[in-house]
Amino acid sequence: MVPQKTKNTPVFQKNRGKQGVQMSAGYPFRHWSVASSRTVLANRVLKVRQDTCVIPASGGALEYFVLELTDWVNVVPVTSARELVMVRQYRHAIRGVTLEIPAGSVKENEVPADAARRELLEETGYAPVNLIHLGSATRRFRPIGSIRFLGLTLRRSLNQRLSWTNA
């Protein structure tokens, strides 16, 4: 049975013309135009971009910062005995050691599943027999996201190669 709409049910109407997306409350969502853009910081891991945006409703300008990170993968590694494999990592930002699932950056032109296998092997010495894509996530303030995998039926490998940041 399909629920019936009542007068209290919000109605959303998509209209991608100059009005943007119109909600029943009458508030239009319109794209901001970018008057100027400049890179504030860039390195191998992140880029911070400063955009000067014009708000359509008021015509006012606003400085907006966009954080662009490289794609990265997270792997939830589970052994055939249903044990979760985790790693201890030194994290400079908190000046401490954390307990976390294996993760790392996707290299340029690398397939995310290959990056997940590489990071899992590099950080734990395990290789997954099955690697299942769980989905991707983005954050509201940046356009690039993380790709998540479930690694099942892990095999211990003799080819563990810690990167210099993991050693």
Q: The domain spanning residue 133 has which CATH number? A: 3.90.79.10
Bridge partners of residue 40, in order along the sequence: none
Answer yes or no: do 82 and 36 share one domain.
Answer: no
Report pTM.
0.65
Residue 93 phi/psi, 5° resolution?
-55, -35
Establish if 127 belongs to a structural domain: yes
Answer yes or no: do 76 and 152 share one domain.
Answer: yes
Question: pLDDT of the chain along its 167 residues, tens only?
Answer: 444 544 544 444 444 444 444 444 555 667 889 999 999 999 988 889 999 999 888 888 999 898 888 888 999 999 888 899 999 999 998 999 999 999 998 998 999 999 999 999 999 999 998 999 888 776 655 555 677 777 776 777 766 666 655 55
Element (H, E) at 163: none
Answer yes or no: do 59 and 104 share one domain.
Answer: no
Q: Of 52, 69, 86, which closes a domain?
A: 69
What is the full DSSP assignment across 69-97? E--EEEEEEE-TT-PBP-EEEEEGGGTEE
